[in-house]
Amino acid sequence: MAFCAALVAVVPLSCRESDHGGADRPQVGPGEAPEARLGPVPLVASARGEVRSATVTRQGRHWFVSFLVEDGKQTPERHAMPSTAVGIDRGVKVAATTSDGVFHDRVFATPGETARLRRLQQKQARQKKGSNRRKQTVAAINTITGRIRNRRTDFCAWTANRITERAALVVLEDLRTKNMTASAAGTIEAPGRNVRAKAGLNRAILDKGWHMLELALRNAARYTGSNVVLVNPAYTSQTCNVCKHVDPKNRESQAIFECTACGHTDHADVNAAKNEHQGRRAGGLRAWRPRHRPVCEAPTTGQPHRTGRSPRAARAAGISALQGGEEANV
């Protein structure tokens, strides 16, 4: 059984923005991790293993280097609770609802952050492109959106970990998020309809992190041996879980489901999750299973290998290439 690879370390680099938009570049030696201007910065996580790659990224005024190493863990042949299964319904009001009636959700932006972000965006729209004040406004916007993005990432990872630990089979709707969040503006010859409403729906879908949650579930499944199955999402929100009657009127509102045939009542999201859970028996459209091969597919030869935003970003941060097979003690 192949080992799994994991992202185990993140080091913030001290790159101070200058008034002219430049960045001070930290100097590092071969095979060394960058250090902050005020001294070494402790790693967020630590592990020992074989380095496969190093990724240099930039978020606003902060630089990060992430090491990908072999963590020595193996994908289990069988889940600890092989007879368990759960269906998950993703929504815009509640991020994820399971078929056993558990609601997973979190507010990613506080009311104060939402108000400040709106003011900054309005301020940015009035400023001249390329001006220093506009750059300062953009940096302030990136600070807020970065916090929101980090909370969403943490929520998806936390939720996926809890779900895969308790379920050997995880059933999701086969949602094409990219297509669902496409703009409805259309063209000059064929303008779209309800553009503002569709834009609001797109923002709600992206805010809940539907695709990110699916990726987090697949990643967590590598460590628990869970199966992730995608089923046809058609009519899952209109079908009664008890009598299988399909009627758009079954769903009175976003949260209330009442069957017009048998009178069964349930929370609409829970009813949809149950339909997805049972829909696997009819055959899912696509199935995903942890691969019995190295999850890290970076080259293992002795040639230098760089990954990340771009080689230019790596050079700007002063990161030297890591050699394949080099041992990390991070």
Catalytic residues: 89, 173, 269
DSSP string, 264-295: -EEEHHHHHHHHHHHHGGG--SEEE---SS-S
CA–CA distance, 110 with 240 (Å, rounded to integer): 36
Q: Cα dihedral angle (55, 58, 59, 62), rounded to 10 degrees?
A: 110
Q: Tell me the residue length of the chain.
A: 330
CA–CA distance, 319 with 306 (Å, rounded to integer): 9
CA–CA distance, 293 with 1 (Å, rounded to integer): 7
Amino acid, res. 219: N
User: What is the CA 64 to chain-centroid distance, rounded?
Assistant: 18
307 sits in which H/E element: strand 307-308
Pairing of strands 48-59, 307-308: parallel
DSSP string, 62-128: EEEEEEEEEEEEE--SS-SSTT-EEEEEE-SSSSEEETTS-EE----S-HHHHHHHHHHHHHHHHSP
